[in-house]
């Protein structure tokens, strides 16, 4: 008997309704057979973790979940620690203030303790023996991937390093890691990197030498047929049938997001009173129950996205001067234009030129507004959202296609179902209460 929570929904564990997609799963399996680094990317809640967990045992490999505060040294320290390498990170020789200073020394220059075996140690004059571990001490630099790789190989570690939430790292650290990844590739240390972004070749753009050394696996797009296979697989496990109307509505309201689709199926089941598999086949056809599911998910997503939009709109990027012209407040105007466009207007992305035209219509300094100012504001969106604690980001600008895109799939659901006029009224205009 299956529980609903195990079959449908977004979960930290693999749901039982997972379906394989040939163009995605086969590409990932083929990549695992090579020695190349693997990049899995796509919008949030599009099945990146589910894909990797399907084919890599997280418990038998090295998982590192990144955050906006993670540094490269944090990553490498975690890799070594999870490879059972002990690090000596402080120094004790000397007395007084000098000892305190050395104890706070950076882990950049450190000593690794590599277990070499066991030795017998006598206890006093008795014949009893005590067995202790014997270590080899190796000095190394934690900032050098060569040194890190050498230690990994010394302990015979062949585990795959899984970096989740790579998009949390600031762009400068992503760029630095792209160069380190080239070294790790040559030294046979394997990484699988998961990130929330839409464009291909992210790491190749940072380091062209990664060309032919990495395999990219995009998890999008999801097709209607994929969603129907998910519903069929889960329905068989729960012994239920979705009416054709409800299933089609779930597909249309998912906006190509498998995470949203899974959640709609789960909440629709809950609204029909289903919590585990039925003894007899049950038809789920109550349209009011489905509407309640839509309302529930709209309320859940609206609270978060309203806070996100308020935070993005408040990213002025500069202080308000007492004299002189007002700042451009472009992040505020970007947010307001997105809300004006709604789902239909931003679905698939909006060009910088179209955005410029829309903002100029209402901007308080429309005569001075230049394209370069908007470009800079768009390029800073991801960093601004990270600064405000919005992780993963909701929207991002793709410099290659020159499109502003939605990369949080739940944001589409919010734009389609929330009252956007009310949302606009909630966003504080930075000009309110100011003269001129």
User: Residue 378 has what pLDDT?
Assistant: 92
Structural domain containing residue 98: 34-218
Residue 219 has a CB neighbour count (10 Å cut-off) of: 22
- The gap from C-alpha 50 to its chain's centroid, in whole angstroms, comes to 13
Identify the band that residue 44 occupies on the pLDDT scale cut at 50, 70 and 90.
confident
Q: What is the pLDDT of residue 103?
A: 39
| Residue found under tokens 């499109």 | 403
In order of 86, 334, 345, 405, 412, the CA distances from 338 in angstroms are 51, 6, 8, 10, 11
Q: Is residue 240 part of a domain?
A: no
Listed residue (139, 145, 137, 140) closest to 75, CA to CA: 145
Neighbouring CB atoms inside 10 A of 47's CB total 25
CA angle 4, 5, 6 (to 5 degrees): 90
**Has residue 288 got a pLDDT over 80?**
yes
Q: Is the pLDDT of residue 6 over 50?
A: yes
Provide the domain count of the chain.
Answer: 2
Q: Identify whether 243 is part of a domain.
A: no
User: Cβ of 341: how many Cβ atoms within 10 Å?
Assistant: 18
Domain boundary residue among 218, 233, 265?
A: 218
- Cis peptide preceding 392, ω within 30 of 0: yes
Query: For residue 161, what pLDDT band results from cuts at 50, 70 and 90?
Result: very high
Residue with tokens 């000397």: 94
213: tokens are 């050394």
Regarding whether 341 and 193 lie in a shared domain, the answer is no
For the cut 90, the answer to whether the pLDDT of residue 41 exceeds it is yes
323 vs 230: which has the higher pLDDT: 230
- 349-374 pLDDT, tens digit per residue, is 999 999 999 999 999 998 989 999 99
Question: CA 39: distance to chain centroid?
Answer: 12
The verdict on residue 100 lying in a domain is: yes
Question: Looking at the domain assignment, is residue 398 inside a domain?
Answer: yes
CA distance 85 to 347: 48
Q: Is the residue at 14 inside a domain?
A: no
Clarify whether residues 202 and 309 are in a common domain: no
- Residue 236 counted as domain residue: no
Note whether 59 and 203 are same-domain residues: yes
Percent with pLDDT over 70 in the chain: 86
Token pair listed for 366? 């429309």
Q: Which of 55-69, 112-126, 379-393 has the highest mean pLDDT?
A: 55-69
Instruction: Please check the confidence at residue 418 and state whether its pLDDT lies above 80.
Output: yes
The pLDDT, as a whole number, for residue 252 is 93
Claim to verify: residue 53 and residue 160 sit in the same structural domain:
yes
The whole-number average pLDDT for the span 402-409 is 88
**What does the buried/exposed string (b/e) look like for 103-124 if buried means 16 or more CB atoms within 10 Å of the residue's CB?**
eeeebeebebeeeeeeeeeeee
**Does a structural domain hold residue 271?**
no
Question: Same structural domain for residues 172 and 49?
Answer: yes
Res 132: pLDDT: 53
Angstrom distances, CA of residue 176 to CA of 72, 217, 386? 8, 22, 18
Please indicate, yes or no, whether residues 307 and 192 belong to a single structural domain of this protein: no
Confirm whether 146 is domain-assigned: yes
Residues, the chain:
436
Q: Is residue 101 pLDDT above 50, yes or no?
A: no
What are the two backbone dihedrals, phi and then psi, of residue 133, each rounded to the nearest 5 degrees? -75, 145
**Contacts (Cβ under 8 Å, ≥6 apart) of 266:** 4, 5, 8, 9
- Structure tokens, 247: 């299933």
The pLDDT, as a whole number, for residue 120 is: 44
Q: Which of 156, 190, 218 is the last residue of a domain?
A: 218
Work out the number of other CB atoms within 10 angstroms of the CB of residue 246. 23
Place of tokens 């997001």: 257
- Is residue 321 predicted with pLDDT exceeding 80? no
* Last residue of one domain, picked from the residues 218, 251, 275: 218
Strands 214-218 and 37-42: parallel
Q: Where are the alpha helices (DSSP H) in 69-198?
A: 72-81, 96-103, 145-154, 171-186
318 and 198 housed in the same domain: no
pLDDT averaged over the chain?
Answer: 86
Question: At 80, which CATH number?
Answer: 3.40.50
């Amino acid at each position: 008997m299956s529980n609903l929570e195990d079959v449908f929904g977004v979960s930290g564990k693999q749901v039982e309704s997972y379906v394989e997609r040939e163009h995605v799963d086969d590409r990932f399996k083929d990549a695992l057979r090579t020695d190349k680094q693997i990049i899995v990317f796509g919008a949030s809640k599009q099945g990146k973790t589910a894909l990797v967990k399907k084919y890599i045992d997280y418990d038998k490999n090295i998982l590192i979940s990144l955050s906006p505060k993670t540094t490269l040294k944090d990553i490498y320290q975690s890799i070594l620690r999870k490879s059972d390498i002990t690090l000596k990170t402080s120094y004790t020789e000397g007395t007084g203030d000098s000892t305190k200073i050395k104890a706070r020394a950076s882990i950049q220059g450190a000593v690794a303790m590599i277990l070499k075996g066991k030795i017998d140690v006598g206890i006093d004059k008795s014949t009893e023996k005590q067995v202790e571990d014997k270590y080899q001490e190796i000095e190394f630099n934690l900032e050098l991937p060569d040194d890190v790789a050498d230690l990994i190989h010394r302990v015979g570690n062949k585990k795959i390093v899984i970096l989740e939430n790579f998009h949390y790292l600031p762009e400068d650290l992503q760029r630095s890691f792209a160069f380190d990844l080239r070294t790790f590739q040559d030294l046979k240390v394997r990484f699988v990197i998961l990130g929330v972004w839409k464009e291909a070749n992210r790491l190749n753009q940072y380091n062209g030498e990664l060309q032919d050394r990495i395999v990219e696996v995009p998890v999008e797009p999801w097709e209607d047929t994929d969603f129907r296979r998910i519903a069929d697989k889960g329905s068989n496990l729960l012994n239920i049938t979705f009416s054709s109307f409800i299933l089609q509505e779930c597909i249309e309201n998912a906006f190509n997001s498998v995470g949203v689709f899974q959640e709609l199926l789960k909440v629709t089941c809950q609204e029909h009173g289903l919590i585990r598999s039925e003894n007899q086949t049950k038809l789920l056809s109550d349209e009011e129950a489905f509407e309640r599911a839509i309302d529930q998910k709209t309320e859940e997503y609206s609270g978060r996205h309203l806070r996100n939009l308020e935070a993005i709109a408040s990213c002025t990027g500069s202080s308000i001067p007492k004299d002189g012209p007002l700042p451009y407040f472009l992040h505020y105007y970007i947010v307001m234009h997105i809300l004006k466009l709604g789902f239909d207007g931003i679905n698939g992305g909006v060009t910088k030129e179209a955005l410029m035209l829309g903002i100029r219509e209402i901007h308080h300094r429309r005569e001075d507004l230049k394209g370069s100012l908007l470009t800079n504001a768009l390029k800073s969106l991801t960093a601004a959202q990270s600064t405000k604690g919005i992780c993963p980001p909701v929207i991002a600008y793709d410099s290659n296609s020159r499109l502003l895109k939605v990369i949080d799939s739940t944001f589409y659901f919010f734009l389609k179902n929330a009252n956007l006029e009310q949302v606009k009224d909630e966003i504080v205009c930075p000009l309110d209460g100011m003269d001129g």
